[in-house]
A and B are shown apart, each in its own frame.
Chain A
């Protein structure tokens, strides 16, 4: 099982919107609606931001939204803020296991 593919880095200015892609296959992202997204600040544990493609856990800002089309899932951060600068990872269920993405570093310019 291979890691899901994410862009290494994405950047944007404060207030802008950015989108991070997560590309898999029909055996993972495309086959199940169990895609989740995690935010990780340096030296910290990951934080769940989106589950089941587009659902936000309680307490997560509505500036974060998720979607999926075919084998690619996406995380959009709108109204980018300095505190959003972090690493982001997608994850998907796949055939009795889970797989994470390669990770994307988000930089707020």
Chain B
């Protein structure tokens, strides 16, 4: 059974750095084809893809946020960490981590995000 859970601060001040941790079970990030991504959703708004890390430590970032994001993994702890610098009130959102599912070995792409955490609401305010 695959489960994921996000953790981190609920409130951050503008210009601060946000660090979120995704702790998962039911799979290993050392297994070929496995990936974990981060997606966020501002209140009442649409989903926005942020970043993805592969089992081989390859990383992908949203082009619009690439300069502010870093994604890392700790395989021994079954954790993926997302940091976002220079937080702004517009970054207020529920942040989800998700298991990237249906890996296509020929292309290196994932079919979708099949398992999601419950999400954690991060508010940016002074």
By a beta-carbon cutoff of 8 Å, the part of chain A in contact with chain B is 1, 3, 32, 34, 36, 38, 40, 45-48, 50-52, 55, 57, 89, 91, 93, 96-103
Contact = CB atoms under 8 A, between A and B. Distances in A.
Contacts, number: 76
Contacts of B55: none
Given A1-B64, A97-B61, A48 B46 contact: no
Contact of A51 (B114, B116, B119): B114
Contacts of A51: 101-102, 111-112, 114
B39 interface: yes
Contact of B47 (A47, A50, A55, A103): A103
Interface in B37-59: 37, 39, 45-49, 52
Interface size class of B (residues with CB under 8 A): 20 to 34
Q: Which of B52, B60, B112 lies at the interface centre, i.e. has the most chain A CB atoms within 10 A of its CB?
A: B112
8 contacts: A1-B63, A40-B47, A46-B39, A91-B49, A91-B113, A93-B110, A97-B49, A98-B52
B14 interface: no
A55 B109 CA distance: 15
Nearest to B119: A45
B62 interface: yes
Contacts of A91: 47, 49, 112-113
B47 A36 contact: no
B47 A38 contact: yes
Nearest to B62: A97
Given A45-B119, A48-B101, A97-B63, A36 B48 contact: no
A3 B112 CA distance: 16
B114 A89 contact: no
B24 interface: no
Given A51-B102, A97-B60, A103-B47, A45 B112 contact: no
B75 to A, nearest CB: 23
Nearest to A34: B109
Contacts of A89: 46-47
